[in-house]
Amino acid sequence: MTEKVVLVTGSAKRVGAQIIKTFHQQGFNCLIHCRHSIDEAEVLKQSLNKQRDNSVDVIQADLNQFEDIHQLAEQANQRFGRLDVLVNNASSFYPTPVGDAISPHHWQDLFSSNAQAPLFLSNALAPALKKSQGCIINLTDIHAENPLRHHTIYCMAKAALVMMTKSLAKELAPDIRVNAVSPGAILWPEQTLTQDAKDQVINEIALERMGSPEDIASTIYFLAQQAPYVTGQILAVDGGRSLGRHALA
């Protein structure tokens, strides 16, 4: 098959689903990965297959389990016969303030999704990506560099993903490019925030507004398809939030 193929982890909803839609609109065959959100994944699959028959499939896997990671890689290789782009998007996110909230369970959960799974999935799919001269794009976070209070484990895991991006860019060159997108405030977290907390976030953004899933998806597509001389880079898509606190006039 000649159509290019993208696998996006954690892509049944939110930003991941928009990444799938963006690549699909550009003619890619798409592999939606999910863990629990199988109903949402199937709805997205059916919607896109109505636009172009047999162009999208769903693979369910628990990225905390090494066996599932291997099965995901095998199915990704087999479904369309090739793989051109791997987007490591799946991520657990929640606070772990110092004290009882920092537990071995939380450490394992946050590191598994944010660092461990991207590494082992990239390793398993490297032969297929080398064959297609493809690329890996990781979703990091601006808080990998500037930590978010009460989120020590999460920030550590994303910092590990940043280093993985740079390290794999060296190790897999020249056959596979590896980059990352570092989002700022794109969607409010599923955990409830007060209006004051939301206002504080907006006040820290130079552009004084939230971003959108489309901002992230279009940047990922740019790195995958329109930046052939870019590798090992972490591109912040944050409206200027990482510049430091923005003082409103």
How far is 149 from 155, CA to CA, in rounded Å?
9
Question: Would you say 123 and 50 are in contact if contact means Cβ atoms under 8 Å apart?
Answer: no
Question: Would you say 23 and 135 are in contact if contact means Cβ atoms under 8 Å apart?
Answer: no
CB atoms within 10 A of CB 128: 20
Is residue 221 among the annotated active site residues? no
Strand pairing of 56-60 and 29-34? parallel
Question: Would you say 222 and 181 are in contact if contact means Cβ atoms under 8 Å apart?
Answer: no
Secondary structure class of 135 (helix, strand, coil): strand
Contacts of 240 (CB under 8 A, 6+ apart): 205, 206, 207, 246
CA distances 218 to 73, 181, 237, 242, Å, are 25, 11, 11, 20
* φ, ψ (nearest 5 deg) of residue 201: -60, -50
Q: Which residues are catalytic?
A: 154
